Structure 1
Protein backbone atom coordinates (compact mmCIF):
# COMPACT_ATOMS: atom_id res chain seq x y z
CA UNK A 1 0.00 0.00 0.00
CA UNK A 2 2.89 2.28 0.71
CA UNK A 3 4.04 1.79 -2.83
CA UNK A 4 0.64 2.81 -4.13
CA UNK A 5 0.58 5.86 -1.83
CA UNK A 6 4.00 6.90 -3.10
CA UNK A 7 2.87 6.47 -6.71
CA UNK A 8 -0.29 8.48 -6.01
CA UNK A 9 1.83 11.19 -4.40
CA UNK A 10 4.14 11.24 -7.43
CA UNK A 11 1.17 11.47 -9.80
CA UNK A 12 -0.33 14.20 -7.68
CA UNK A 13 2.94 16.16 -7.68
CA UNK A 14 3.24 15.80 -11.45
CA UNK A 15 -0.39 16.77 -11.92
CA UNK A 16 0.06 19.89 -9.78
CA UNK A 17 3.24 20.77 -11.70
CA UNK A 18 1.44 20.32 -15.06
CA UNK A 19 -1.43 22.50 -13.85
CA UNK A 20 1.04 25.18 -12.65
CA UNK A 21 2.85 25.03 -16.01
CA UNK A 22 -0.46 25.42 -17.87
CA UNK A 23 -1.40 28.36 -15.62
CA UNK A 24 1.98 29.96 -16.24
CA UNK A 25 1.61 29.53 -20.02
CA UNK A 26 -1.95 30.93 -19.83
CA UNK A 27 -0.66 33.96 -17.87
CA UNK A 28 2.07 34.52 -20.45
CA UNK A 29 -0.52 34.23 -23.22
CA UNK A 30 -2.77 36.70 -21.39
CA UNK A 31 0.09 39.23 -21.23
CA UNK A 32 0.70 38.81 -24.97
CA UNK A 33 -3.03 39.25 -25.67
CA UNK A 34 -3.11 42.39 -23.54
CA UNK A 35 -0.08 43.83 -25.34
CA UNK A 36 -1.62 43.12 -28.74
CA UNK A 37 -4.95 44.63 -27.66
CA UNK A 38 -3.10 47.77 -26.54
CA UNK A 39 -1.25 47.89 -29.84
CA UNK A 40 -4.53 47.39 -31.70
CA UNK A 41 -6.03 50.32 -29.77
CA UNK A 42 -3.05 52.54 -30.62
CA UNK A 43 -3.24 51.54 -34.29
CA UNK A 44 -6.99 52.21 -34.43
CA UNK A 45 -6.38 55.62 -32.86
CA UNK A 46 -3.62 56.34 -35.37
CA UNK A 47 -5.94 55.28 -38.20
CA UNK A 48 -8.65 57.67 -36.95
CA UNK A 49 -6.15 60.52 -36.69
CA UNK A 50 -4.71 59.81 -40.14
CA UNK A 51 -8.17 59.44 -41.66
CA UNK A 52 -9.18 62.83 -40.28
CA UNK A 53 -5.93 64.35 -41.53
CA UNK A 54 -6.44 62.78 -44.97
CA UNK A 55 -9.95 64.21 -45.09
CA UNK A 56 -8.66 67.71 -44.26
CA UNK A 57 -5.90 67.43 -46.87
CA UNK A 58 -8.39 66.22 -49.50
CA UNK A 59 -10.70 69.16 -48.76
CA UNK A 60 -7.82 71.62 -48.91
CA UNK A 61 -6.55 70.06 -52.12
CA UNK A 62 -10.00 70.28 -53.71
CA UNK A 63 -10.22 73.99 -52.81
CA UNK A 64 -6.74 74.64 -54.18
CA UNK A 65 -7.46 72.74 -57.40
CA UNK A 66 -10.64 74.78 -57.89
CA UNK A 67 -8.70 78.00 -57.23
CA UNK A 68 -6.04 76.96 -59.72
CA UNK A 69 -8.73 76.26 -62.31
CA UNK A 70 -10.12 79.76 -61.68
CA UNK A 71 -6.62 81.23 -62.13
CA UNK A 72 -6.14 79.26 -65.36
CA UNK A 73 -9.52 80.44 -66.70
CA UNK A 74 -8.87 84.07 -65.72
CA UNK A 75 -5.38 84.01 -67.24
CA UNK A 76 -6.68 82.47 -70.48
CA UNK A 77 -9.49 85.02 -70.75
CA UNK A 78 -7.12 87.90 -69.95
CA UNK A 79 -4.55 86.71 -72.49
CA UNK A 80 -7.25 86.37 -75.17
CA UNK A 81 -8.56 89.88 -74.42
CA UNK A 82 -5.01 91.25 -74.46
CA UNK A 83 -4.37 89.64 -77.87
CA UNK A 84 -7.54 91.34 -79.19
CA UNK A 85 -6.27 94.65 -77.82
CA UNK A 86 -2.90 94.10 -79.54
CA UNK A 87 -4.60 93.25 -82.83
CA UNK A 88 -6.85 96.31 -82.53
CA UNK A 89 -3.84 98.49 -81.70
CA UNK A 90 -1.98 97.18 -84.72
CA UNK A 91 -5.02 97.83 -86.96
CA UNK A 92 -5.46 101.29 -85.46
CA UNK A 93 -1.80 102.09 -86.02
CA UNK A 94 -2.01 100.95 -89.66
CA UNK A 95 -5.14 103.03 -90.26
CA UNK A 96 -3.58 106.05 -88.53
CA UNK A 97 -0.40 105.80 -90.65
CA UNK A 98 -2.46 105.50 -93.81
CA UNK A 99 -4.60 108.50 -92.88
CA UNK A 100 -1.52 110.48 -91.89
CA UNK A 101 0.00 109.67 -95.28
CA UNK A 102 -3.18 110.77 -97.05
CA UNK A 103 -3.29 113.99 -95.03
CA UNK A 104 0.34 114.67 -95.82
CA UNK A 105 -0.39 114.40 -99.53
CA UNK A 106 -3.27 116.81 -99.27
CA UNK A 107 -1.44 119.38 -97.16
CA UNK A 108 1.95 119.12 -98.85
CA UNK A 109 2.17 121.88 -101.48
CA UNK A 110 4.70 119.92 -103.49
CA UNK A 111 2.44 116.84 -103.58
CA UNK A 112 -0.34 118.64 -105.50
CA UNK A 113 0.00 119.64 -109.14
Structure 2
Protein backbone atom coordinates (compact mmCIF):
# COMPACT_ATOMS: atom_id res chain seq x y z
CA UNK A 1 0.00 0.00 0.00
CA UNK A 2 2.75 2.48 0.72
CA UNK A 3 4.10 2.00 -2.77
CA UNK A 4 0.65 2.79 -4.18
CA UNK A 5 0.32 5.74 -1.84
CA UNK A 6 3.72 7.04 -2.94
CA UNK A 7 2.77 6.63 -6.61
CA UNK A 8 -0.55 8.39 -5.97
CA UNK A 9 1.26 11.24 -4.19
CA UNK A 10 3.66 11.54 -7.14
CA UNK A 11 0.77 11.73 -9.62
CA UNK A 12 -0.96 14.24 -7.38
CA UNK A 13 2.17 16.41 -7.22
CA UNK A 14 2.57 16.24 -11.01
CA UNK A 15 -1.09 17.15 -11.52
CA UNK A 16 -0.80 20.14 -9.17
CA UNK A 17 2.37 21.23 -10.99
CA UNK A 18 0.61 20.95 -14.37
CA UNK A 19 -2.37 22.95 -13.10
CA UNK A 20 -0.04 25.66 -11.77
CA UNK A 21 1.78 25.80 -15.11
CA UNK A 22 -1.53 26.09 -16.96
CA UNK A 23 -2.62 28.89 -14.63
CA UNK A 24 0.67 30.68 -15.20
CA UNK A 25 0.32 30.36 -18.98
CA UNK A 26 -3.27 31.59 -18.75
CA UNK A 27 -2.17 34.66 -16.77
CA UNK A 28 0.51 35.42 -19.38
CA UNK A 29 -2.05 34.99 -22.17
CA UNK A 30 -4.46 37.34 -20.34
CA UNK A 31 -1.69 39.92 -20.08
CA UNK A 32 -1.00 39.65 -23.83
CA UNK A 33 -4.72 39.88 -24.65
CA UNK A 34 -5.10 43.00 -22.53
CA UNK A 35 -2.05 44.56 -24.17
CA UNK A 36 -3.39 43.84 -27.68
CA UNK A 37 -6.86 45.13 -26.79
CA UNK A 38 -5.29 48.40 -25.61
CA UNK A 39 -3.29 48.65 -28.84
CA UNK A 40 -6.44 47.94 -30.85
CA UNK A 41 -8.27 50.75 -29.02
CA UNK A 42 -5.39 53.16 -29.69
CA UNK A 43 -5.32 52.22 -33.37
CA UNK A 44 -9.09 52.62 -33.74
CA UNK A 45 -8.83 56.04 -32.12
CA UNK A 46 -6.02 57.02 -34.50
CA UNK A 47 -8.02 55.76 -37.48
CA UNK A 48 -11.05 57.80 -36.38
CA UNK A 49 -8.93 60.96 -36.05
CA UNK A 50 -7.19 60.38 -39.39
CA UNK A 51 -10.50 59.68 -41.13
CA UNK A 52 -11.92 62.96 -39.88
CA UNK A 53 -8.78 64.79 -40.99
CA UNK A 54 -8.94 63.12 -44.42
CA UNK A 55 -12.55 64.21 -44.77
CA UNK A 56 -11.66 67.83 -43.99
CA UNK A 57 -8.74 67.77 -46.44
CA UNK A 58 -10.96 66.27 -49.16
CA UNK A 59 -13.55 69.02 -48.64
CA UNK A 60 -10.91 71.73 -48.76
CA UNK A 61 -9.33 70.19 -51.84
CA UNK A 62 -12.69 70.04 -53.64
CA UNK A 63 -13.30 73.74 -52.88
CA UNK A 64 -9.82 74.69 -54.09
CA UNK A 65 -10.20 72.64 -57.27
CA UNK A 66 -13.52 74.36 -57.99
CA UNK A 67 -11.93 77.77 -57.40
CA UNK A 68 -9.04 76.88 -59.72
CA UNK A 69 -11.48 75.81 -62.43
CA UNK A 70 -13.24 79.18 -62.07
CA UNK A 71 -9.89 81.00 -62.40
CA UNK A 72 -8.98 78.92 -65.46
CA UNK A 73 -12.33 79.71 -67.10
CA UNK A 74 -12.04 83.43 -66.29
CA UNK A 75 -8.47 83.58 -67.60
CA UNK A 76 -9.43 81.81 -70.84
CA UNK A 77 -12.42 84.15 -71.39
CA UNK A 78 -10.30 87.21 -70.62
CA UNK A 79 -7.52 86.10 -72.97
CA UNK A 80 -10.05 85.45 -75.74
CA UNK A 81 -11.62 88.90 -75.26
CA UNK A 82 -8.17 90.51 -75.20
CA UNK A 83 -7.23 88.73 -78.41
CA UNK A 84 -10.40 90.15 -80.07
CA UNK A 85 -9.52 93.65 -78.85
CA UNK A 86 -5.99 93.34 -80.22
CA UNK A 87 -7.31 92.00 -83.49
CA UNK A 88 -9.73 94.94 -83.75
CA UNK A 89 -7.00 97.49 -82.88
CA UNK A 90 -4.45 96.00 -85.26
CA UNK A 91 -6.81 95.18 -88.12
CA UNK A 92 -9.73 97.64 -87.96
CA UNK A 93 -10.24 97.48 -91.71
CA UNK A 94 -11.26 93.80 -91.56
CA UNK A 95 -14.56 94.70 -89.99
TM category, shorter: over 0.9
**Count of residues paired in the alignment:** 94
Structure 1 CA distance, aligned partners of 2:22 and 2:33?
16
> CA RMSD, aligned part only?
1.3
1:21 aligns with 2:17: no
Q: 2:31 maps to what in 1? A: 31
Match of 1:48 in 2: 48
Which residue of the partner structure matches residue 6 of structure 1? 6
Q: Distance in 2 between matches of 1:30 and 1:78?
A: 71
| Residues 1:73 and 2:73 are matched in the alignment | yes
- Larger RCO (CA under 8 A, 6+ residues apart): 2
TM-score by length of 1: 0.79
Task: Report the CA distance between 1:91 and its aligned residue.
Answer: 2.6
The corresponding residue for 1:109 is none
Structure 2 CA distance for aligned equivalents of residues 68 and 91 of structure 1: 34
- Structure 2 runs not aligned, ≥5 long: none
- Where structure 1 has 5 or more consecutive residues not aligned to the other structure, the ranges are 96-113
Structure with bigger gyration radius: 1
